[in-house]
């Protein structure tokens, strides 16, 4: 028996990177001014876009971005995370779903990200073809428990596109 496709599917993604000096911090495609440290990564280290891409894939049980872009492959060094996200979104569309809304949480002790909330929401929304009001952006400190890393967690609701 084949079950009919679900009208909705939930995806969840995470990403974390170590922070170190001498590199930019970019979150959701937004460069963070006054960040003393940036993400140590094989790609551009945008933990928001990585976690969103993983959430999209997870919603359709399509694995994770590491399978499509192994960080052992030199061809992926410095890869623009927007490409990873666009490819993941293309897969979602091939499977006849589209993102309906996104909720993301960034855990970072410093700097304060509150003033950039709208910029990050707008940027992520634009990449996904969503309205700014369809991307919830929350920030948390780690209360000093993890001062040397940035962590992002994302849920996404996918809705089936008819036809």
Interacting residues with ligand C5P (CB under 6 A): 108, 112-114, 139-141
Q: How far is the CB of 141 from ligand C5P (least distance, A)?
A: 4
Query: Exposed (0-12), middle (13-18) or buried (19+): which is 70, by Cβ within 10 Å?
Result: exposed
Q: Which of 53, 68, 29 lies closest to 156 in space, CA to CA?
A: 53
Q: Taking CB within 5 to 8 Å according to partner kind, which of ligand C5P, Mg ion, none is near residue 114?
A: ligand C5P
Q: How far is the CB of 110 from Mg ion (least distance, A)?
A: 19
**Closer residue to ligand C5P, CB minimum distance, 150 or 158:** 150
**Closer residue to ligand C5P, CB minimum distance, 101 or 141:** 141
The structure tokens 């976690």 sit at: 51
Dihedral, CA atoms, 143, 125, 156, 13, nearest 10 degrees? Answer: -50
> Which residues on adjacent β-strands are paired with residue 155?
12, 103
Residues within window 44-103 making contact with Mg ion, judged by CB under 5 A: 50
Residues that bind Mg ion (CB under 5 A): 15, 50
């Amino acid at each position: 028996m084949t079950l009919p496709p679900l009208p909705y599917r939930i995806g969840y993604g995470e990403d974390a990177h170590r922070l170190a000096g001498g590199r930019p911090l970019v979150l959701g495609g937004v460069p963070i001014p006054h960040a003393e440290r940036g993400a140590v990564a094989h790609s551009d280290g945008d933990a928001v876009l990585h976690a969103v891409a993983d959430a999209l894939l997870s919603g359709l049980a399509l694995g994770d971005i590491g399978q499509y872009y192994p960080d052992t492959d030199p061809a992926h060094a410095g890869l623009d995370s927007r490409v990873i996200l666009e490819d993941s979104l293309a897969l979602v569309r091939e499977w006849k779903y589209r993102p309906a809304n996104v909720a993301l949480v960034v855990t970072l002790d410093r700097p304060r990200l509150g003033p950039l909330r709208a910029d990050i929401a707008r940027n992520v929304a634009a990449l996904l073809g969503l309205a700014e009001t369809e991307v919830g952006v929350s920030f948390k400190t780690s209360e000093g428990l993890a001062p040397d890393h940035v962590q992002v967690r994302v849920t996404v609701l996918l809705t089936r596109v008819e036809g």
